[in-house]
Amino acid sequence: MEPDRQAESLGITRRTALGMLGAAAALPLAASGGAAAESPSPGDRPRVYRGEHTPKPLPFDPARLSGISEKLMLSHHQNNYGGAVKRLNAIEQEIAALPPDAAPYRMGSLKREALIAGNSMRLHELYFANLGGTGRAGAGFAALAAAWFGSTEAWERDFRKTGLSLAGGSGWVIATWDPETGGLHNTWAWDHMHGFAGGVPILLMDMYEHAYQMDYGADASRYVDAFFANLRYDEVDRRLAAATAHAGAGKPQP
């Protein structure tokens, strides 16, 4: 017997049968808290999950860098950094929209991605802010580097070699101040997720290929040279002074 006639034989009209089918199709979504659940409006989201981060502009004229092209820097800022900001906003909004009975793995996956995107955003902001200078070391950072590495030249060799160890791959080199000892460490950071616990980033170099490939191809060493030629050490000294003042430690001691 045809479906319509089966329904009629049971006293069910065609319209009623279609309505029952539609209601049944909606049940899995409602039960799983899936696409049928509405995302909270921005005002209803917790502050931590508002997803309203906005990119910061470059703090220098990209056309005036030495050895790093304006085209590369604009692409880096707009696509890599800007993309991280957009991803973080979207991820935070997804977390805010999770139903109370969501499976733990869904929260875990989103939290991991939020950490990657959030750190990428912040590390890029610090990286751009320590560029646009003349490459001449300031007194504060130079004294700290000499105290912990023997000389500023030894610190720079260590930093450069750490960066070149990431060539052809991805990651960051971060000169990190340790508030526990007042010391300085050059840390190797991969996937935006590794850092010195409790440390304060003072000077950062992006070693992801997007930071140099457009200008230098696979020759990461020439990019490292260009990076040092454009370092803004007054910003590095400012960060160090702010970190030591905040920690109440005064001048870092060797």
Element of type H or E holding 75: helix 70-75
Q: How many residues does the chain have?
A: 254
pLDDT digits (tens, 9 = 90+) for 145-190: 999 999 999 999 999 999 999 998 889 999 999 999 999 999 998 8
| Neighbouring C-alpha atoms within 13 Å toward the C-beta of 141 | 28
- Taken in order of first residue, the domains within the chain and their CATH numbers are 139-247 (3.55.40.20)
Torsion-angle region of 250 (φ positive above 0: left; ψ -120 to 50: alpha; else: beta)? left
Structure tokens at 236: 């590095």
- In three-state secondary structure terms, 131 is strand
Q: Taking the model in full, what pTM does it have?
A: 0.80
Q: For residue 105, give every residue at least 6 positions away whose Cβ sits within 8 Å of its Cβ, in sequence order, or none.
A: none
DSSP 90: H
Between 152-164 and 220-229, two packed helices, what is the crossing angle to 10 degrees? 140
d(CA 202, CA 239): 6
Q: What is the pLDDT along the chain (254 residues), one digit of tens a residue?
A: 444 444 444 444 444 443 443 434 333 333 334 443 456 666 677 888 989 999 999 999 999 999 999 999 999 999 999 999 999 999 999 999 999 999 999 999 999 999 999 999 999 999 999 999 999 988 899 999 999 999 999 999 999 999 999 998 889 999 999 999 999 999 998 877 777 788 999 999 999 999 999 999 999 999 999 999 999 999 999 999 999 998 864 444 44
Q: For residue 26, give every residue at least 6 positions away whose Cβ sits within 8 Å of its Cβ, in sequence order, or none.
A: 36
